[in-house]
Amino acid sequence: MTFLKVRELKKHFKDVKAVNEINFEVKKGEIFGLLGPNGAGKSTTISMISTLVHPDGGDIFYKGESILKNPKPLQKKLGVVPQEIALYPTLTGYENLRFWGNVYGLNGSLLKQRIEEVSKIIGIKDRLKHQIEKYSGGMKRRLNIGAALLHEPELLIMDEPTVGIDPQSRNHILDTVLELNKKGMTIIYTSHYMEEVEYLCSRISIMDQGQIIASGSKGELVEIIKGNKRINLKFDNISDTLLGKIKEISYINNVEIISDEVAITTNNGEAIFKDIINKVSETDSSILSIDVKKPNLEEVFLHLTGKALRD
Ligand SMILES: Nc1ncnc2c1ncn2[C@@H]1O[C@H](COP(=O)(O)OP(=O)(O)O)[C@@H](O)[C@H]1O
Ligand SMILES: [Mg+2]
């Protein structure tokens, strides 16, 4: 039986189709990624799985049972790390964990023991005595994750847990996700960072404008753009003439300037180098370097939507 099944799930806010009849499944023991740009509908989806927002249509099944009909079994086994930090700034880290533990029905020596264990996992044991308002962004994030782990959830949902934090905390969080998963926790991880989802997730759904536009393992998703190549070119100078000449090559699908490089995608890997060199020789620019990129989820997204994942 599928662990978690999302069927025709829908949520509209007036004329905004935040989530528009999406389907996906999460298997027990996996890290499932929901990848999409800001506004794709990830948080709205998460809110519905967390039973905080009631869908306009569709349903979610936890171990075969509708969570709309009976939310209790999932609620008991669910930990949610919301996108917005949910902590009391004037309380200490310890007091915040104790508060969330109480919310989950934990108290006494069991709660004390769980706080001990959780603070080890999130790596902030020595900071628990300090007030949250003295924490860095990364520390707050970690504590927010800790709060969701106190009752040992079977399913952990993390909504963009690394936005706006320092690289060290980010790496720590990614390691923590892998560590928790190794111990058997099923995780749903949302992000607009392609690299994180590629690194962590066994299966991924790519979401855009309220819809899931592709699902699969990273390998399966990259298959969608099989035959497509991404090539980054550096020039001594980039002019409109140069870009115009490159765009004359009929089988180039997309030309973009990314910082000081010209990025092109093509489905004709064979003739491209010769044709580019010919076209460039008709301008007063010269090529400094050519870099053929391995296809990644960024390219899949670009291919499916015609826009970059990072806006
Ligand atoms: N409570 C709300 N009221 C009105 N519009 C909303 C509300 N929540 C989300 N939206 C809109 O729904 C869309 C999806 O938002 P969201 O689920 O937060 O996307 P994401 O988490 O992928 O960035 C956006 O256009 C957002 O503005
Ligand atoms: Mg969001």
What atom of ligand 1 comes closest to residue 159's alpha carbon?
A: 21
The number of folded domains in the chain is 2
Are 198 and 57 found together in one domain? yes
261, with CB counted inside 10 A (0-12, 13-18, 19+), is middle
Asked whether residue 304 is assigned to any structural domain, the reply reads no
Domain that holds residue 180: 4-217
82 Cβ closer than 6 Å to some ligand 1 atom: no
CATH number at residue 95: 3.40.50.300
Are 25 and 159 found together in one domain? yes
Q: Which tens digits make up the pLDDT trace of 16-58?
A: 999 999 999 999 999 999 999 999 999 999 999 999 999 999 9
Are 211 and 247 found together in one domain? no
309 Cβ closer than 6 Å to some ligand 1 atom: no
Q: For tokens 């996700």, name the residue.
A: 177
Which of 10, 11, 12, 13 is the best mutation target for the ligand 1 pocket, counting ligand atoms within 8 Å of the beta carbon and taking the most? 13
Determine which residue's CA is closest to atom 3 belonging to ligand 1. 13
Please report, for residues 35, 103, 125, the alpha-carbon distance to residue 111 in angstroms, rounded to integers and kept in the order given: 34, 11, 15
Asked whether residue 300 is assigned to any structural domain, the reply reads no
299 band by pLDDT with thresholds 50, 70 and 90:
confident
Of the candidates 195, 217, 239, which is a domain's last residue?
217
CA 40 to ligand 1 center in whole angstroms: 8
Are 99 and 25 found together in one domain? yes
Q: What is the pLDDT of residue 256?
A: 87
36 Cβ closer than 6 Å to some ligand 1 atom: yes
- Residue 34: nearest ligand to its CA? 1
Are 261 and 132 found together in one domain? no
Q: Is the pLDDT of residue 268 over 70?
A: yes
Query: Are 115 and 143 within 8 A, CB to CB?
Result: no
Q: Is the pLDDT of residue 311 over 70?
A: no
Asked whether residue 305 is assigned to any structural domain, the reply reads no
Q: Is the pLDDT of residue 164 over 90?
A: no
Asked whether residue 157 is assigned to any structural domain, the reply reads yes
Q: Which tens digits make up the pLDDT trace of 166-225?
A: 999 999 999 999 999 999 999 999 999 999 999 999 999 999 999 999 999 999 998 888
- Residue 207: nearest ligand to its CA? 1
Determine which residue's CA is closest to atom 26 belonging to ligand 1. 39
Classify each residue of 164-182 as buried b or exposed e, where b means 16 or more C-beta atoms within 10 Å of its C-beta: ebeeebbebbbebbeebbe
Are 96 and 182 found together in one domain? yes
CA 191 to ligand 2 center in whole angstroms: 8
Q: Which tens digits make up the pLDDT trace of 95-154?
A: 999 999 999 999 999 999 999 999 999 998 889 999 999 999 999 999 999 999 999 999
The percent of residues above 90 in pLDDT, for the chain, comes to 80
Determine which residue's CA is closest to atom 8 belonging to ligand 1. 44
Determine which residue's CA is closest to atom 27 belonging to ligand 1. 39
43 Cβ closer than 6 Å to some ligand 1 atom: yes
What atom of ligand 1 comes closest to residue 83's alpha carbon?
A: 21
Are 199 and 119 found together in one domain? yes
Structure tokens at 101: 């533990």
Are 272 and 165 found together in one domain? no
CATH number at residue 261: 3.30.70.100
Query: Are 24 and 212 within 8 A, CB to CB?
Result: yes
Asked whether residue 60 is assigned to any structural domain, the reply reads yes
**Main-chain phi, psi angles of 156, to 5 degrees:** -115, 125
